[in-house]
Amino acid sequence: MGMKKVSITFSFITLLFYLTLIFSLLSFISKDRFFEILFSERTLFSIKLSMTAAFVAVLLSFIIALPAAYALSRYEFFGKNFVDLILELPMIVSPAALGAILLLFFYNNLGTWIQGNIQQFVFTFYGIILAQFTTILGITIRMIKNGFDEIPSRYENAARTLGASSFQAFRSVSLPLCRRSILSTLIFAWAKAVGEFGATITLAGTMAMRTETLPVAIFMRLSVADIQGAVVLITILLAIGLFVLFIVRQVIGGKSNASN
Amino acid sequence: MFSSKKSIIFKKTTLILSILTLSIGIALTGCSKSTATNKDNTTQKSLLVYAGAASKPPTEEAAKAFEKETGIRVDLIFGGSGTVLSQMELSKKGDLYFPGSSDFMEKAIQKKLVYPKTESRIVYLVNSINVQKGNPKNIHSLKDLTKPGIKIAIANPETVCVGLYATEIIDKTFTDQEKESFKKNLLNYTESCDKTATAISLKTVDAVIGWSVFQDWDPAKIENIPLKQNEIQRIGYIPIAVSTFSENKKLAQQFIDFLNSKEGKSIFKKYKYFATPEEATKYVGVKKPVGGEYKLNEEWINIGK
Predicted confidence at residue B110, as pLDDT, reads 92
Predicted confidence at residue B6, as pLDDT, reads 54
pLDDT band of B20, cuts 50, 70, 90: low
**Taken in order A78, A157, A176, A260, is the CA torsion positive or negative?**
negative
State the average pLDDT over residues B155-163.
89
B220 touches chain A (CB under 8 A): no
Predicted confidence at residue A178, as pLDDT, reads 92
State the average pLDDT over residues A17-32.
88
CB–CB of A20 and B301 under 8 A?
Answer: no
State the average pLDDT over residues B222-233.
96
> Is B80 a residue whose pLDDT tops 90?
no
Predicted confidence at residue B81, as pLDDT, reads 84
Predicted confidence at residue B8, as pLDDT, reads 61
Lowest mean pLDDT among B24-33, B50-59, B64-73: B24-33
Contacts with B243 from chain A: Cβ below 8 Å: none
**How far off is chain A from B281, nearest CA to CA, in Å?**
29
Interface of B with A in 75-94 (CB under 8 A): 80-83, 85-86, 89-90
Strand pairing report for B127-132 and B222-225:
antiparallel
Model confidence pLDDT, tens digit, residues A50-77? 999 999 999 999 999 999 999 999 999 9
Predicted confidence at residue B31, as pLDDT, reads 43
> Is A86 a residue whose pLDDT tops 60?
yes
* Residue bearing the bigger pLDDT, B154 or A241: B154
> Is B292 a residue whose pLDDT tops 50?
yes
Q: How many CB pairs under 8 A join A and B?
A: 119
CB nearest B85 (choices: A8, A225, A230): A225
> Is A89 a residue whose pLDDT tops 70?
yes
State the average pLDDT over residues A134-141.
96
Predicted confidence at residue A260, as pLDDT, reads 47
Predicted confidence at residue B30, as pLDDT, reads 46
Contacts with B17 from chain A: Cβ below 8 Å: 12, 15-16
Predicted confidence at residue B276, as pLDDT, reads 92
Predicted confidence at residue B39, as pLDDT, reads 42
Model confidence pLDDT, tens digit, residues B91-143? 889 999 999 888 889 889 999 999 999 999 999 999 999 999 999 999 999 99
CB–CB of A227 and B188 under 8 A?
Answer: no
> Is A46 a residue whose pLDDT tops 70?
yes
State the average pLDDT over residues A120-125.
92
Lowest mean pLDDT among A169-173, B24-28, B70-74: B24-28
pLDDT band of B28, cuts 50, 70, 90: low
What is this structure's pTM?
0.79
Contacts with B305 from chain A: Cβ below 8 Å: 209
pLDDT > 90 fraction of chain A, expressed in percent and rounded = 60
pLDDT band of B14, cuts 50, 70, 90: low
Per residue, the 3-state secondary structure of chain B, as one string, reads CHHHHHHHHHHHHHHHHHHHHHHHHHHHHHHCCCCCCCCCCCCCCEEEEEEEHHHHHHHHHHHHHHHHHHCCEEEEEEECHHHHHHHHHHHCCCCEEECCCHHHHHHHHHCCCECHHHCEEEEEECEEEEEECCCCCCCCCHHHHHCCCCCEEEECCCCCHHHHHHHHHHHHHCCHHHHHHHHHHEEEEECCHHHHHHHHHCCCCCEEEEECCHHHHCCCCEEEECCCCCCCCCEEEEEEEEECCCCCHHHHHHHHHHHHCHHHHHHHHHCCCECCHHHHHHHHCCCCCECCCCCCCHHHCHHHC
State the average pLDDT over residues B38-47.
59
Lowest mean pLDDT among A146-150, B35-39, B210-214: B35-39
Model confidence pLDDT, tens digit, residues B168-199? 999 999 999 999 999 999 999 998 888 899 99
**How far off is chain A from B161, nearest CA to CA, in Å?**
11
pLDDT band of B38, cuts 50, 70, 90: very low
Predicted confidence at residue B40, as pLDDT, reads 44
Q: Are B166 and B263 in contact (CB under 8 A)?
A: no
Substitution target from A8, A41, A49, A206 for chain B, most B beta carbons within 10 A: A206
pLDDT band of A81, cuts 50, 70, 90: very high
Interface of A with B in 199-258 (CB under 8 A): 201-202, 204-212, 219-220, 222-227, 230
Predicted confidence at residue A57, as pLDDT, reads 98
Contacts of A143 (CB under 8 A, 6+ apart): A181, A184, A185, A188, A189
Distance from C-alpha of B225 to C-alpha of B77, rounded to nearest angstrom: 33
**How far off is chain A from B155, nearest CA to CA, in Å?**
9
> Is B45 a residue whose pLDDT tops 60?
yes
State the average pLDDT over residues B244-265.
94
Predicted confidence at residue B34, as pLDDT, reads 40
pLDDT band of B35, cuts 50, 70, 90: very low
